[in-house]
Amino acid sequence: MEDLLFWINPLAYITEDQYLAWWTWVSNFVLKGLPLHLMTLSALGATFWFGAYKLRAGIGLFCFLITILCAYVHPLMRLLNLGE
């Protein structure tokens, strides 16, 4: 169990500056603009594909939760002062 907790905690094996630099890069290049819109649109499309067409409600719900996460992750990061 300790190995799992060590693996989950990134500050155990990288410095705080590297961790903040990585999140800044993710925030600036992935979690806003076109890449974020494409991820959100893909997850929403997968929601309808799996939920309605394939009748897989569990996978459809999971994709819908990913859609919500994609849609609100950048505003939440801005609210928490983790991004621009």
What is the pTM assigned to this prediction? 0.60
CA-based nearest residue to 84, from 34, 39, 31: 31
Residue 7 lies in a domain: no
pLDDT at 23 over 90: no
pLDDT in tens, 68-82: 988 887 778 778 776
CA distance 25 to 17: 12
Host domain of residue 24: 16-79
Work out how many domains the chain is built from and give that number: 1
> 58 lies in a domain?
yes
Domain contains 53: yes
* Position 84 confidence tier, pLDDT thresholds 50, 70, 90: low
Contacts of 24 (CB under 8 A, 6+ apart): 83
pLDDT tens for 8-20 read 888 788 888 998 8
% of the chain residues with pLDDT over 70? 94
Note whether 27 and 33 are within 8 A (CB): no
